[in-house]
Structure 1
Amino acid sequence: MHAGFLNRYRLIVLILVAIAARGLTFGNPVVHADEEFYYVTAHEMWRGALPFIDIWDRKPIGLFLLYLPAARLPLPWGIFAYQAMATAALVLTALIVARLAARAGWGAGAMAAAIGYILWPDLINGVGGQSPIFYNLPMAAAGLLIVSGENGGGLPHRRGVAAMALVGIALQIKYSAVFEGVYFGLWLMWREWHAHRRLLATLAYGAMLAAIALVPTAMAWGFYAAIGQSDAFLFANFLSIEHRNANPLPEMLGNIGTLVLLLGPLVAMAFAARRQEAVGGSGAARRFLFGWLWAALAGLALFGTWFDHYGLPVLVPGCACAAGFFGARRFRGRVAPAVLGLVAIGGLATVLAHIHGRGNATQFAALAQAVGRGPGCLYVYSGTTMLYAATERCRLSRYIVPAHLNRARENGATGADQAGEVRRILAARPAVVVMRPPFNGERPEIRALVSAAVTRDYRLADRLPMGDETISVYKLRR
């Protein structure tokens, strides 16, 4: 009864914290460019489009399938729906973080760790439906299966199989889960070797675990192969990333500095837990969690580009380990609440700054109205792709992410010549062209192509604020 009451209390508190942390963004369709695109892709799938063929991107198809239920709803209800899904995933993952902490013997700090997991995403662009908000849930569940088997009971092979099946699901939400998944598999193999000391059996077990984790991706590949699009699938999912150009060095250094600043305190508290006394729990579970944290950090370092939201996978093992710090006798009374309070204030300030910079639902509604639902196709050269879903206008290219056609880092990396594709779009004479002001990383020669076309063939229909920018809407002269 006591445990049941504690779980209900914990759930209610985490839901309230999540609503407080995210409530300012509920219903806002322009929280982040990534999730705008995920939603629009799912919306286009309902109209018959197929990712990697009709709409191009590198994300696995599982991510777009996640957005399908929400994208079936009209705006703004579809926005509320995907944000509710993301909030539910966040809260469930936070509950697992608390369970992981308790299994490791850090139960006194488990609640603070779970709250930390709810609050920290606000600091690193995770306030909406970024892919790690969703794939952290199966990864956390997989980690809990492994940790739960570290007490010597249960069925470790079944737990291992189930854990790697969850890793496979996470991989079809975003492939960057591979770093943590490899660590999970190696840990399970090491435990198998430690238990039985049979090399061939351990290798066979490892091969089985790897195969299980790859099943969802193999199924996706098999579908595309069956329709004759294997090459398109392989290029988009695995090969194109090797062709992407590096961001300018100052931008990369700025990204790294931001991650160090925002994740550094959490990582420091997590590793400080090594010096704190655990109450019960499993030493093997603690070692697993610290190893998981190293794996997540290694994945963040190796993946490159280092955008702030790439740090979201670090939060699961980071917060679980930080429970040892939060729950320490000398920290739990004042330090832990102070830390969480600072994170909450910093997160709120970050969310408000992003709303000010990117825009809000009212500004987006005005922009969508200016674009209109009339006949003719839309070309968002730069700006929010959510306009495609809001106006229901047709698109003229499978490259609807503006960066794929106008950013230097994507030049030669998508399978299309940027200038050639832009010329083809403009030759089709879209009814409406949307442009934001010039930005860092943009290819000036691509902007010049579009600017020349709108000067020649279009009239400026409206200029509207969107966050701290002014968006220009051009309509074709009749």
Structure 2
Amino acid sequence: MILVAVALAARAVTFGDPVVHVDEEFYFATARGMWQGALPFVDIWDRKPIGLFLLYWPAAGLPLAWGILAYQIMALVSLVLTARLVFWMAERAGWGAGALPGAVAYLLWPDLLNGVGGQAPIFYNLPMAAAGALIVLSAQRHRRLLGAAAMALVGITLQIKYSAVFEGMFFGLWLLMREWRARTALWVLAGYAVLLVALALLPTLIAYAAYLDRGQADAFVYANFGSIAHRNANPLPEMLGNIGVLVLLLSPLVAMVFGARGRVGQGDASARAFLFAWFVAALLGVAVFGTWFDHYGLPVLVPGAACAAGFFGRADMRRRVTPAILLLVALVGQIAVVVNIHNRGTAAQFARMAEAVGRGPGCLYVYSGSTMLYPATGRCRLSRYVVPAHLNRARESGATGVDQATEVRRILAAHPAVVVMRPPFRGERPEIRAIVVAAMAHGYHRAATVPMGNERIVIYKR
């Protein structure tokens, strides 16, 4: 009940907001498109696994306001259940006195990391936390069976976000190392390794088989695996800024994890060793993955909060310092959420923008702006590249399987009824914007200019 209350308080201001974050706007828009017959990677292009869109699919079938609330409630439930697993693992490791503060920290920290809505890690942290809990439990009983179940959960996680591969590899290596230390026969160890890998890959292979059956295997492979190798790096100042923000927001948690080392307690020593090693693996996964957006730090919170319980539960900390830290995180987190809403735009501003776009028989082209306008207005798409960044950002040039300028010209040649443009932004290709601006000067008029957060969005109509 405490965890539910904290989670509700941490997220209350965002419930019903359709523009919490650009990522989940697209996830919802894609899932709504699936209800209309669209096939991800073929009709709507992205690199995210099919499982993420399937998670959003039930909510996207509801009327817009109810659908937004539904996926946010799903994210809330996932967050609370993950926090409960953090509590259990911390208690198992011998940090029972700090287990509840650790779980509360897991609920509060996402507010700092742009994870207040339905970001992918909010959902995939749950099966990863469950896998970690099974590994902790398997040290005492049913070692191989629970280890295999843990890797099956990793496989499910990979079909929500592939970046979990780093933690998944660590889980598999930990299980194999434990078998090696138990002097398992080599042929048994090899067979077990094959089983763990197969279980982790099975959901992805099932997804591939489904696309192969539809004759779309190439589209699946390129979107899911090939395209990431062709994506360009962000500008150096942007990357350095992202790294700085991520380090700033995670460094207190890192410090508390180190403050927990040596706090033995009465729990399972192997659980403590596993949680510390998992935390390091999660940090390395963030470092290796690149781009370093703030929400990429969300997976670190599961082992981080569990380990930080050893710090929170210290006798010299738990009476004053622990409550003060959690209150500070809660306060700063709420400030961050409110500031982000102010910068991105409110639900009321979005409603006015959607009204200005309007419903009608003509198609919509969001050159730059919110993809939530597609489900909000019901207007058709003219391209499978729904994410504006795929066609206007320099980092995506040559990485999506289409020439950006050619695709933009093709869209404009189809005469969209409405075109939406936000102001120029860092990372945008000016030559792509110039193509759209030139097209708007012939056959279009500026129908409205609406405020959306700290920007003014221009809506052109044919």
Q: Distance in 2 between matches of 1:197 and 1:210?
A: 18
For 2:200, which of 213, 216, 237 is the aligned residue? 213
Question: In the alignment, what sits opposite 1:106?
Answer: 95
Maintained 8 Å contact 2:275/2:306 = yes
Is 1:45 aligned with 2:34? yes
Question: In the alignment, what sits opposite 2:115?
Answer: 126
Question: In the alignment, what sits opposite 2:152?
Answer: 165
Question: In the alignment, what sits opposite 2:429?
Answer: 443
Question: In the alignment, what sits opposite 1:473?
Answer: 459
Maintained 8 Å contact 2:138/2:144 = no
Offset from partner CA, 1:242-282 (integer Å, 9 cap, x none): 00000000100000000110001101101221132x32111
Partner of 1:296, secondary structure, is: helix
- Aligned 1:137-216 pairs, distance under 5 A: 137-150=126-139, 152=140, 154-216=141-203
| Cα shift at 1:89 | 0.2
Q: Distance in 2 between matches of 1:66 and 1:48?
A: 16
Structure 2, unaligned runs of 5 or more: none
| Cα shift at 1:186 | 0.7
| Cα shift at 1:241 | 0.4
- Aligned 1:26-45 pairs, distance under 5 A: 26-45=15-34
Question: In the alignment, what sits opposite 2:224?
Answer: 237
Amino acid at match of 2:177: W
Question: In the alignment, what sits opposite 1:430?
Answer: 416
| Cα shift at 1:199 | 2.1
Question: In the alignment, what sits opposite 2:325?
Answer: 339
- Aligned 1:77-96 pairs, distance under 5 A: 77-96=66-85
Question: In the alignment, what sits opposite 1:388?
Answer: 374
Offset from partner CA, 1:171-190 (integer Å, 9 cap, x none): 00000111010111111111
Is 1:358 aligned with 2:347? no
Q: Distance in 1 between matches of 2:226 and 2:319?
A: 51
Aligned pair count reads 462
Is 1:67 aligned with 2:56? yes
Partner of 1:457, secondary structure, is: coil
Question: In the alignment, what sits opposite 1:116?
Answer: 105
Sequence identity (%): 68
Question: In the alignment, what sits opposite 2:250?
Answer: 263
Maintained 8 Å contact 1:189/1:203 = no
Q: Distance in 2 between matches of 1:205 and 1:271?
A: 33
Is 1:378 aligned with 2:367? no
Partner of 2:74, secondary structure, is: helix
Q: Distance in 1 between matches of 2:344 and 2:397?
A: 25
Amino acid at match of 2:207: A
Is 1:222 aligned with 2:209? yes
Partner of 2:445, secondary structure, is: strand
Maintained 8 Å contact 1:57/1:236 = yes
Q: Distance in 1 between matches of 2:276 and 2:69?
A: 36
Q: Distance in 1 between matches of 2:377 and 2:86?
A: 40
Amino acid at match of 2:454: D
* Superposed CA RMSD: 0.7
Offset from partner CA, 1:390-446 (integer Å, 9 cap, x none): 000000000000000000000000000000000000000000000000000000000
| Cα shift at 1:194 | 1.5
Partner of 1:196, secondary structure, is: coil
Task: Out of 185-194 and 407-416, give the one that drifted further.
Answer: 185-194
Question: In the alignment, what sits opposite 2:442?
Answer: 456
Amino acid at match of 1:384: S
Q: Distance in 1 between matches of 2:276 and 2:184?
A: 24
Maintained 8 Å contact 1:171/1:178 = yes
Maintained 8 Å contact 1:463/1:472 = yes
| Cα shift at 1:200 | 2.4
Q: Distance in 1 between matches of 2:220 and 2:57?
A: 20
Q: Distance in 1 between matches of 2:169 and 2:57?
A: 29
Q: Distance in 1 between matches of 2:80 and 2:385?
A: 34
Question: In the alignment, what sits opposite 1:6?
Answer: none
Structure 1, unaligned runs of 5 or more: 1-11
Q: Distance in 2 between matches of 1:374 and 1:216?
A: 40
Q: Distance in 1 between matches of 2:221 and 2:67?
A: 30
Q: Distance in 2 between matches of 1:462 and 1:407?
A: 25
Q: Distance in 1 between matches of 2:249 and 2:363?
A: 42
Is 1:369 aligned with 2:355? yes
| Cα shift at 1:469 | 0.5
Q: TM-score, normalised by structure 2?
A: 0.99
Amino acid at match of 1:117: Y
Q: Distance in 2 between matches of 1:35 and 1:270?
A: 30
Partner of 2:318, secondary structure, is: coil
Q: TM-score, normalised by structure 1?
A: 0.96
4+ residue runs over 6 A deviation = none
